[in-house]
Amino acid sequence: MMAAGLGAPRGSGAVSVVLRLGLLGAVLGTAQAAVYFREQFLDGGLQTSENSKFYAISSRFKPFSNKGKTLVIQYTVKHEQKIDCGGGYVKIFSSDLDQKNLSGASPYYIMFGPDICGSETKKVHVILNYKNKLHPIKKPIRCKVDGYTHLYTLIIRPDQTYEVKIDNEVAALGNLEDDLDFLPPRKINDPAVKKPSDWDDRAHIDDPNDIKPEDWDEPEYIMDTSDEKPEDWDHAVHGEWSYPMVKNPLYKGAWKPRQIDNPNYRGVWPHPQIDNPHYSPDYNIYSYENIGAIGLDIWQ
């Protein structure tokens, strides 16, 4: 493997990687599976060594195409520290990857695996390259955030379905076209049809019988008449003295009438749909012709 910044087991990103290709039966355990890359790191493991560093490592294998076959990417990740921000994902590249200059900008086919950053980002990435544009999965998939080793598996099938497993339990599944924005939508709103002018889609309306109370309009701030002008107040320096303004405890904010159910509510108007003239099916969005390298490029 060609590496930059990955070394002795002192850090927080232990990774074991297996990439398998085969028919569906092979993926389920028959003897037909073709293993294109396997690395178990039996000499001690692959781990990051320091925080706030960029790490990159990659390895080539005999190029292949997954067209007409089921592609399986499977590996383990262990976050030995409680990290604030770091990735544990892998990337699948074409065989023309420039390994010496591997970086986050290097073009890739597939990015898969857990990413943690702050309190908000704790997700499993599934990002596929289609016509040189990256498409992330729209489904949220939560990754494991404990300090144990977890097995992450991505399965991409020729029928354009996918499956994500964590510790061999299904975390997400679906159709690539539905869950990633590869293609324009099959249907669109008919531009020739407009919502009828008398269609009322307001679920609630102002209560016409609700009247603003007479004592409602109190100012937000009032003068604090309990304050007194300082004895050393200099008009020439400070200008005319006035009472300071304080928050009015009687202020109630802007008045709004209460809401009631709209008796004329007709629901959301169902805009008629038509076939999208810009949609064209593509039954090969799952496939890549020149898979030839696997790697990690992580800013931790």
* pLDDT at site 32: 62
Number of domains in the chain: 1
Q: Is residue 37 part of a domain?
A: no
> 249 lies in a domain?
no
Q: Which domain holds residue 295?
A: 54-187+284-299
pLDDT at 115: 87
Whole-number pLDDT of residue 85: 73
In a domain, 199, yes or no: no
Nearest to 67 by CA among 159, 129, 190: 159
Report yes or no on 194 lying in a domain: no
**Looking at residue 27, what is its pLDDT?**
38
CATH number of the domain bearing residue 138: 2.60.120.200
Domain membership of residue 116 (yes or no) is yes
Q: Is residue 63 part of a domain?
A: yes
Does residue 276 contact residue 187 with C-beta atoms inside 8 Å? yes
- Is residue 69 situated within a structural domain? yes
Closest of 143, 142, 125 to residue 180, by C-alpha: 125
- The angle at the Cα of 157, spanning 152 to 161, to the nearest 5 degrees, equals 85
The pLDDT tens digits along the chain (300 residues) read: 665 544 333 334 444 445 444 433 233 334 467 888 888 877 777 777 777 788 888 999 999 999 999 999 999 888 776 666 777 889 999 999 999 999 989 999 999 999 888 777 889 999 999 999 999 999 999 998 887 889 999 999 999 999 999 999 999 999 999 999 999 999 999 999 999 999 999 999 999 999 999 889 999 999 998 888 888 888 888 888 889 999 999 999 999 999 999 999 999 999 999 999 999 999 999 999 999 999 988 877
Look at residue 61 and tell me if it is in a domain.
Answer: yes
Burial class (CB in 10 A: 0-12, 13-18, 19+), 261: exposed
